[in-house]
A and B are shown apart, each in its own frame.
Chain A
Amino acid sequence: MKEKLEEINSIKGVWGYVLCDNTGKILEKEMPIVFMKHLAMMGKEVTQVVGLLETMSKSSENLDLLFEDGRVMIRSLKNFTLAVFCDPNVDIPMLRLKTNVVVSEITGDPKMQELFQKGEWRRRRLLQKEYLGKEYREILSQLVPEDAKPDTSA
């Protein structure tokens, strides 16, 4: 699987990727050394973004987050999330083609599915208070309708 994932990195402008399960645990990664100190947070943050959107009943299967100096393409399926970090000017159609194929191969790979099942959570559990930073708590309190708020009393 690593080989397939690394094909994503061969696209000009792609810096790296993380593949994580629904607990935010990173199962595969390839990132430049400069990002390494933030790596531990990446899986959780990416999964929380997807979980937050799910909680708000927003589509989260394909996310394209464009920043001034970077771009994050997030593909999320039922039990895993793939985030690709790249230059804002990356060839997006090429990246989408590659991630489509890779995501389909991950979905069809029994070994990967076994790994994902070990972390078979609902992503929105990562929105419980104990896992949330201050900013996320504020976003949640402002955006989520009262009846859709997750239980944060834990």
Chain B
Amino acid sequence: MPDVFMGDLSQIKLADILRLLLSEGKTGKLILGKGNDAGEIYVENGAVTHASSKANSGKEALFVMMTWMIGKFNFSPDVLPEEKSIEIDTDQLLEEGEKRVKEWEHIREVIPSMDVVFRLAGHKGSDDINLKSAEWNILTQVDAMRSAGEISGALNLDEFDVAKTLYELYSAGLLEVVERPKPPPEKIMEREFFKKVDGELAKALGPIASVIVDDQIAEMGEQRDAFPQNKAAELVEAVSSEIADEGKRIRFQRSMLEVLRDL
């Protein structure tokens, strides 16, 4: 094997890379990167001893990385880990990992990404339904709003376990995939609001007030006719900082608070 060992996961599977390193009794660190994800796998004298990714460590991290079909890898020889998180036999580890990769391939047919949203399906059969407690925990989170990833985060469970359970519940006819609901449209400020801002600010600053308001709206990257309601207080605060006289500034803020209260 050359001193520099690097390549692309689309050309060679992680399991095959590891088998190659292990068959030669290598010691070192295999670094993997896939978009914003990254991970490390340490091998010592032909055995995997540690793996870590952004979210996990140990065999869970290794199993997640084994599902990466694209990405880059780079092996640095003779680097030892600071900790060891994997103790099971390497052949058994890779076998378990490959089994999981195959399961993922099935799961991906229904859950291509963790953004998929489910809802409870109407139960058509008359048979009793039996659920394990882990399945019940996940089922209680299904609300036609939360994605598979959000459920995994809410329950602090591994993405694979959640996806697998959702897939099984889906396969049993208990869940249906739904389109993720679109967020409600942003509320836009009415013209009346700007009339009040301009008018109140003019009491403190004179006729230049509306120019200051326009400048501030532009600085915020917005427009008068499509100004989002959730930025109204920010606009008022920003334009009020132009009022040097403290008394006038407080009067402006007080009157604008009354306007904001009625929104």
Contact = CB atoms under 8 A, between A and B. Distances in A.
Interface of A: 91, 93-94, 96-98, 100-101, 104
Contacts of A96: 237
Contacts of B256: 97
B178 interface: no
Given A97-B253, A97-B257, A91 B237 contact: no
Interface in B221-240: 230, 233-234, 236-238, 240
Interface in B248-263: 249-250, 253-254, 256-257, 260
Contact of A97 (B230, B233, B246): B233
Contact of A93 (B233, B246, B249): B233
A94 B250 contact: no
Interface of B: 230, 233-234, 236-238, 240, 246, 249-250, 253-254, 256-257, 260
B260 A94 contact: yes
A101 B240 CA distance: 12
Given A96-B237, A97-B240, A104-B246, 19 more contacts: A91-B230, A91-B233, A93-B233, A93-B234, A93-B236, A93-B237, A93-B238, A94-B260, A97-B233, A97-B236, A97-B237, A97-B253, A97-B260, A98-B257, A100-B250, A101-B253, A101-B254, A101-B257, A104-B250
A96 B233 CA distance: 9
Contacts, number: 28
Contacts of B236: 93, 97
A66 to B, nearest CB: 17
A96 B250 CA distance: 11
Contacts of A91: 230, 233
Contacts of A93: 233-234, 236-238
Contacts of A104: 246, 250
8 contacts: A91-B230, A93-B236, A97-B253, A97-B256, A100-B250, A100-B253, A101-B254, A101-B257
